[in-house]
Structure 1
Amino acid sequence: MESLDLSKFPKIELPRFLKIKQNFEKDRVENIELEVADKVRQSIKNMDLKGKRIAVGVGSRGVANIAKMAKTVVDCLKGAGAEPFIIPAMGSHGGATPEGQAGILASYGITEEAMGVKVDASVDVEPIGEYEPGLTVYVAKSALEADGVVIIPRIKPHTCFRGRVESGACKMLVIGLGKQRGADSVHSKGFERFHELIPGVGCMIAKRIKLLFAVSTVENAYDDTYKITILTKDEILGLEKEEALLEESRKRMAQILIPKFDVLIIGEIGKNISGDGQDPNVTGLYFTKCASGGPEFKKCVILDVTDESHGNTNGVGMADVTTRKLFDKIDFISMYTNCFTSTEIEPAKIPMVARNTEDAVRIAVKLCNGIKSKQHKIVWIKNTMELGKILVSEPLLPEVEKNPKLEILTGPKEIEFEKGEPVDIW
């Protein structure tokens, strides 16, 4: 395919940029292994686990310290005489194949060699009944056949719906352990019903499998582990404790502290960052009407995709402009499998493709009508997980100066591009 050659058009001027720091609360767990070990050992001290096969469910998101937590959980179970093994709990991700899902875990450092146990990446499922007429519930055979199941979810606001519980233990049971077929079954009802289906189907699965507990994590605004909490089976069924952790997570989330501007530039998207590639709770780029919030802007640029996404650029469709660099990395089958399962295809649409980063930024600026040259208000972030330092254009300086949570790190200067890519902007 070809992209526009901007040299054939009048030059599009860009404003100068300055680097700023966004300040959020930094509380974190200092010793992950010790914290997890203490809580898990306390939870299993009265359980007879000798010789029992325990499935440890690990998801596809870029959860902070996930390899440390998974290894510690495995070691604690071994110490109690159990025979743990790891299963991917990630729905249709990884192209819904065993190889793809094992590959995602490996990219996080979760391999048989590193964990010292088998990774069973089978995507085989069995139906366990109907939640309601027409909604069959599926669960991974590996989880159903295990003598016990432990999951390691991150609790946070979901990107597509609002409810008592959103992303967390219940969702990992429903979507994660449901594999592609289970995820597809629930998604077929639409995000409009997720506020009832995630807790409802989640509790149904929790009752059916031999669920021991969830090692649940909440992260701070810097995507580091803020809190680790054990949710017992009864607490998962009760919902209240997960609901409280969700609200705590919502308060701790990072955000763009500038509410209104013209152009948002996202350096990279990825499945390890968010199910939508970027977190709409940060950007406001929701593809459903079941959730809202975030800043207001006119145009969006998405520049690249993380290596950990393995070509799944789900979410690029929310941009107005992207780059050849991202386009050339797309694994369409992986991305389409994800969207086909979720029944939402807008995230897989292809925006206007620019030759490089410089052209993508200039095109987005050109698309904003009614603004004088070099006066565009632009926010440039690395991704929605790294919001401590961001770039803003000079016209936003007055707003930055009056916000006590924002700190100016560098004075305004023009961005230097070399072969269309920015030089040393971070």
Structure 2
Amino acid sequence: GAKTAHAWALDWSFRNMIPEITERLLGELPVVGGVAILEDQRDRTEQIEGVPPEGFLDREAELLETAYELLPTLPFDDLDLVVFDRMGKEISGSGMDTNVTGRLLAFNEPSPEVPDIRRIYTRSLTAASHGNAAGVGQADFIHRDLLGDLEVEDTAINAVTSGSVENARIPTTVETDRAGILACLSTVGVRDRWDARVIRATDTMHLERMYASEALLEEARERDDLRVVAEPEPIAFENGELAAPSPTDADARPR
């Protein structure tokens, strides 16, 4: 089952293992066909296609390229800090989508060259995760609220079953958003705060609208795929916590 597959991936990688398992199954079982389902970044069905067994590997590779085009991505490849308001199992199986963070911490898979995010600060864990914070290890710093909602046993079970213990390591924890942001920026060598390339997003699924630092605005204005909808404002804190609501209206709860 899942545990066996993940165990093989630790020594081999999913990229090599899945085609091998597919060929083995097709050779030993009477497979009639398969149904390929592609979803967009909001988990909405984008495409459904029937595929005959003899076309599984070739057609799946083609559909995978289409799926990559549907993935949510950050609009900038080079960032000093990304603040995610939340992570959760309903957002991604890894809490934060590794295709967005660019942080593949297991399974012998190389991390992509982009995006290059030097620090990730994650503020909370969704209620729907029921304490399972597998994937939290992608962050460099987390808010104490996230740590308080983390269930150690549930997270450990997920980590052991998946074989991805690196993704479940608990990052450095801070008491407030102000402390988290300052800690991130002070550990990436940003000398002038005006040069800091910072994004704040609701989560890795909802990336249509986000906050960006002034260092990114000129580039954003020059691009046809981005639109600046408000002028810069100072970051506001209330008792050390970010005062502005989450960037999107995706059921995120502002502090």
Unpaired runs of 5+ in structure 1? 1-177
C-alpha contact (below 8 Å) 2:72/2:207 kept by paired residues? yes
Query: Which position in structure 2 is the counterpart of 1:344?
Result: 164
How many aligned residue pairs are there? 243
Q: Does 1:185 align with 2:8?
A: no
Please report how far the alpha carbon of residue 211 of structure 1 lies from its aligned counterpart in structure 2 after TM superposition: 5.5
TM-score (norm 2): 0.84
Please report how far the alpha carbon of residue 248 of structure 1 lies from its aligned counterpart in structure 2 after TM superposition: 0.9
Q: Does 1:253 align with 2:60?
A: no
Query: Which position in structure 2 is the counterpart of 1:423?
Result: 244
C-alpha contact (below 8 Å) 2:201/2:246 kept by paired residues? no
Query: Which position in structure 2 is the counterpart of 1:291?
Result: 110
Q: 1:377 to 1:196 in 2, by over 3 A?
A: closer
Q: For 1:245 and 1:358, how far apart are their aligned partners in 2?
A: 43
Opposite residue 109 of structure 2, the aligned amino acid is C
Alignment of 1:14-29 (within 5 A): none
TM-score (norm 1): 0.52
Alignment of 1:127-138 (within 5 A): none
C-alpha contact (below 8 Å) 2:78/2:115 kept by paired residues? yes
Q: 1:272 to 1:213 in 2, by over 3 A?
A: farther
Q: Does 1:309 align with 2:129?
A: yes
Query: Which position in structure 2 is the counterpart of 1:386?
Result: 206
Name the SS for the 1:314 alignment partner: coil
Q: For 1:339 and 1:301, how far apart are their aligned partners in 2?
A: 21
Q: Does 1:270 align with 2:58?
A: no
Please report how far the alpha carbon of residue 340 of structure 1 lies from its aligned counterpart in structure 2 after TM superposition: 1.1
C-alpha contact (below 8 Å) 1:301/1:364 kept by paired residues? yes
Q: For 1:272 and 1:222, how far apart are their aligned partners in 2?
A: 11
Instruction: Report which of the two structures shows the higher radius of gyration computed on alpha carbons.
Output: 1
Give the share of equivalent positions with the same residue, in percent: 26
Q: Deviations over 1:245-294 (max 9, x none)?
A: 11111122221121112111122222222232212222211213513323
Query: Which position in structure 2 is the counterpart of 1:196?
Result: 16
Name the SS for the 1:216 alignment partner: strand
Opposite residue 321 of structure 1, the aligned amino acid is F
Q: 1:381 to 1:425 in 2, by over 3 A?
A: closer
Q: 1:191 to 1:423 in 2, by over 3 A?
A: farther
Opposite residue 241 of structure 1, the aligned amino acid is R
Q: 1:269 to 1:210 in 2, by over 3 A?
A: farther
- Mean Cα displacement is larger for which, 264-273 or 185-194? 185-194
Q: Deviations over 1:40-85 (max 9, x none)?
A: xxxxxxxxxxxxxxxxxxxxxxxxxxxxxxxxxxxxxxxxxxxxxx
Q: Deviations over 1:92-134 (max 9, x none)?
A: xxxxxxxxxxxxxxxxxxxxxxxxxxxxxxxxxxxxxxxxxxx
Name the SS for the 1:408 alignment partner: coil
- Mean Cα displacement is larger for which, 211-220 or 252-261? 211-220
C-alpha contact (below 8 Å) 1:254/1:387 kept by paired residues? yes
Q: 1:370 to 1:383 in 2, by over 3 A?
A: closer
Q: Which has the higher contact order (CA 8 A, sep 6+)?
A: 1
C-alpha contact (below 8 Å) 1:222/1:387 kept by paired residues? no
Q: For 2:76 and 2:146, how far apart are their aligned partners in 1?
A: 27
C-alpha contact (below 8 Å) 2:102/2:111 kept by paired residues? yes
Opposite residue 187 of structure 1, the aligned amino acid is H
Opposite residue 259 of structure 1, the aligned amino acid is D
C-alpha contact (below 8 Å) 1:382/1:390 kept by paired residues? yes
C-alpha contact (below 8 Å) 1:272/1:309 kept by paired residues? yes
Q: 1:407 to 1:371 in 2, by over 3 A?
A: same
C-alpha contact (below 8 Å) 2:190/2:196 kept by paired residues? no
| Aligned with residue 400 of structure 1, among 220, 236, 250 | 220
Q: Deviations over 1:294-340 (max 9, x none)?
A: 31132111111222222111111121110111101111112111211
Please report how far the alpha carbon of residue 208 of structure 1 lies from its aligned counterpart in structure 2 after TM superposition: 5.8
Query: Which position in structure 2 is the counterpart of 1:131?
Result: none
Name the SS for the 1:186 alignment partner: helix
C-alpha contact (below 8 Å) 1:267/1:380 kept by paired residues? yes
Unpaired runs of 5+ in structure 2? 248-255
Opposite residue 220 of structure 2, the aligned amino acid is V
Opposite residue 290 of structure 1, the aligned amino acid is E
Name the SS for the 1:239 alignment partner: helix
